[in-house]
Chains A and B, each alone.
Chain A
């Protein structure tokens, strides 16, 4: 691809995720990272030293005026997403937003409305669909090997870093990623009931959820972000079907079948992530980031809808809104009522 046709990438918010996306875009032959913007002067000064060929700005307007860009990664706190998108949408930009889509369901709806009139590519940072083991889990669930699956239990346990300055943002990020995994694996939720210690997104301990999916699958979910020993969020999902069971975690799948089905024998089959071939050509931080980043850039180049859409992000925000409503009212909430 000639340099004229390369996507011209700008980063807004140059923290951990901003650096990650800039680096991944930079090694992608379809893209060229050209500029970044951050409100923190010290960060900018440091980055100017490490990346002498990149234009750094403290003001977004200035960045957009001075550098010719067509693809933006927004890696700032979720409360800034709507104001930024409102500003960028008229500039005909492809936009990738780190998760969650916004800080509220109302803001997320406005973002989707704004994007609906544009032909650009809009995506967000949910990485589960790009992880090989979760892909395998989804394929197993959909293969019918478990026969009728009526229920699952799921948990996400995490130890928040001590004295975290952005507690709410971290909880929102980790929780919405987990809810997206459930949504992606099992489809939309039609109603839910939630109990939490404090409000969901800013709770101090965690939450219990009962999710009733449109497919009639029922899920019992336990979320905790104050359990020691979980430096990375630990996800576990146990499915029970009439034909067997499937336990899903980030590192392995455990399948138990009551009788032989296709390639799988009766009894236990364990599949480790390490054993599954990874299609990723570059590894930075963890599996999924490279694939998510390059999938978005590929969609931009081909002008095709991205793998993870803002509409999906809106559905996750609808779930979060319903969870808060359920906690406040202590009743089951139908998602069709959340508008």
Chain B
């Protein structure tokens, strides 16, 4: 497995995702609708030595990356699909139907610019198998990340958990093979259900890094904080912790002591302002940087 940095900057706030209150979410949506407010946070994080950035192909984030002078030096962990955007638009036909509709709506100029020469295949996938389907959908999702150094590709938690609940091993097999062979990157699975996913992966003999919630409050640690912690203690899987600050209910000084004695390889930290970036990332560096 390729080495994954110990601290990763997350992008939830940039995409208007917050857990503390709707007011916070609304502030994020407004504030980060301007790339000028994202770039200083990328800069601060980079200057503090955080060189990994986990993000989806949200247009505000891509625009900020385009204008951030050190973007070529960043290791990108691409989250696919951009589930928040699809969830918002996919009211009738679900994520897959919306992806197809969006693919069809893209004009020829953009298709060429994005390198989507094979887009016609997406429209014709209804006669193809799972491998062809996933290849084309992933090509479509990954096209936006083409200019960057994509070190890992993270399957969005909602998609992982849907695939998990359908008990479909093939989706996971095809996904990891595609990411490794086609994008030469590390496949990673995000989940909200660590305690269900890990035993299933063990049963299937599939080993990929897992991005899951781990925090002192047990926030979105399913089926329970206790069961997740027990599994974490024994596993040799590479675990990346998310929701470390429990959606903002823990300050960094409270949050990191919980992580430091756990079997956690990396953590993802989202920040909602420049001052928060300096505070959170500095505390993370002093408490979590040394394994």
Contacts of A51 in B (CB 8 A): 166, 168
Contact at A231–B223, with CB atoms within 8 Å? no
Q: Which of B5-61 contact A (CB under 8 A)?
A: 16, 19-22, 25-26, 29-30
Is the CB of A165 closer than 8 A to any CB of chain B?
A: yes
Is the CB of A207 closer than 8 A to any CB of chain B?
A: no
How close is B124's CB to chain A, nearest CB, in angstroms? 11
Report if A229-B166 is in contact (Cβ < 8 Å); known contacts: A274-B217, A281-B223.
no
Query: Which of the segments B86-94, B111-119, B255-263, B270-278 contacts the partner chain?
Result: B86-94
Cross-interface CB contact of B165 among A15, A16, A23, A170, cutoff 8 Å: A23
Taken together as a complex, chains A and B put the C-alpha atoms of A50 and B125 apart, in Å, by: 12
Cross-interface CB contact of B133 among A19, A46, A275, cutoff 8 Å: A46
Contacts of B95 in A (CB 8 A): 16
Q: Which of A151-190 contact B (CB under 8 A)?
A: 161, 164-166, 169-170
Is the CB of B167 closer than 8 A to any CB of chain A?
A: yes
Instruction: Indicate the member of B96, B170, B218 with the most A CB atoms within 10 Å.
Output: B96
Contacts of B20 in A (CB 8 A): 251-252, 272, 274
Taken together as a complex, chains A and B put the C-alpha atoms of A230 and B23 apart, in Å, by: 9
Report if A161-B22 is in contact (Cβ < 8 Å); known contacts: A26-B166, A46-B96, A282-B223.
no
- Chain A residue with Cβ nearest B95: A16
Is the CB of A43 closer than 8 A to any CB of chain B?
A: yes
Report if A26-B165 is in contact (Cβ < 8 Å); known contacts: A272-B20, A275-B249.
yes
Is the CB of A302 closer than 8 A to any CB of chain B?
A: no
Interface of B is mostly: helix
Contact at B22–A230, with CB atoms within 8 Å? yes
Taken together as a complex, chains A and B put the C-alpha atoms of A262 and B129 apart, in Å, by: 62
- Chain B residue with Cβ nearest A45: B126
Is the CB of B196 closer than 8 A to any CB of chain A?
A: yes
Taken together as a complex, chains A and B put the C-alpha atoms of A165 and B97 apart, in Å, by: 14
Contact at A251–B19, with CB atoms within 8 Å? yes
Contact at A229–B88, with CB atoms within 8 Å? no
Is the CB of A249 closer than 8 A to any CB of chain B?
A: yes
Contact at B161–A284, with CB atoms within 8 Å? yes
What does the 1/0 interface line of B69-91 toward A look like (CB < 8 Å)? 00000000000000010011111
- Chain B residue with Cβ nearest A44: B126
- Chain B residue with Cβ nearest A46: B96
Contact at B88–A231, with CB atoms within 8 Å? yes
Taken together as a complex, chains A and B put the C-alpha atoms of A249 and B19 apart, in Å, by: 12
- Chain A residue with Cβ nearest B17: A231
Report if A27-B91 is in contact (Cβ < 8 Å); known contacts: A252-B21, A272-B249, A282-B193.
no
How close is B182's CB to chain A, nearest CB, in angstroms? 18
Is the CB of A4 closer than 8 A to any CB of chain B?
A: no
Contact at B22–A46, with CB atoms within 8 Å? no
Is the CB of B108 closer than 8 A to any CB of chain A?
A: no
Contacts of B22 in A (CB 8 A): 230, 232, 234, 249-251
- Chain B residue with Cβ nearest A173: B91
Contact at B220–A283, with CB atoms within 8 Å? yes
Taken together as a complex, chains A and B put the C-alpha atoms of A183 and B222 apart, in Å, by: 31
Q: Which of B164-199 contact A (CB under 8 A)?
A: 164-168, 170-171, 192-193, 196
How close is A47's CB to chain B, nearest CB, in angstroms? 8
Instruction: Indicate the member of B16, B29, B162, B168 with the most A CB atoms within 10 Å.
Output: B162
Contacts of A251 in B (CB 8 A): 19-22
Is the CB of B158 closer than 8 A to any CB of chain A?
A: yes
- Chain A residue with Cβ nearest B20: A251
Q: Which of A46-97 contact B (CB under 8 A)?
A: 46-47, 49-52
Contact at B25–A43, with CB atoms within 8 Å? no
Is the CB of B219 closer than 8 A to any CB of chain A?
A: yes
Taken together as a complex, chains A and B put the C-alpha atoms of A49 and B126 apart, in Å, by: 9
The list of the 7 closest CB pairs from A to B, nearest first, reads A23-B165, A45-B126, A281-B223, A234-B22, A283-B192, A229-B26, A251-B21
- Chosen A-B contacts, 18 in total, with CB atoms closer than 8 Å, are A18-B94, A22-B166, A42-B97, A42-B126, A43-B97, A46-B125, A50-B171, A52-B170, A161-B89, A165-B92, A230-B22, A231-B25, A251-B20, A251-B22, A274-B217, A274-B247, A282-B193, A284-B161
Residues of A within 8 A of B (CB): 14-16, 18-19, 22-24, 26-27, 40-43, 45-47, 49-52, 161, 164-166, 169-170, 229-232, 234, 249-252, 272, 274-275, 277, 280-285
19 new A-B contacts, CB < 8 A, other than A26-B165, A49-B130, are A14-B94, A15-B93, A16-B95, A23-B165, A27-B196, A46-B125, A46-B126, A46-B133, A50-B166, A51-B166, A164-B91, A229-B26, A229-B29, A230-B22, A232-B25, A234-B22, A234-B26, A280-B222, A284-B192
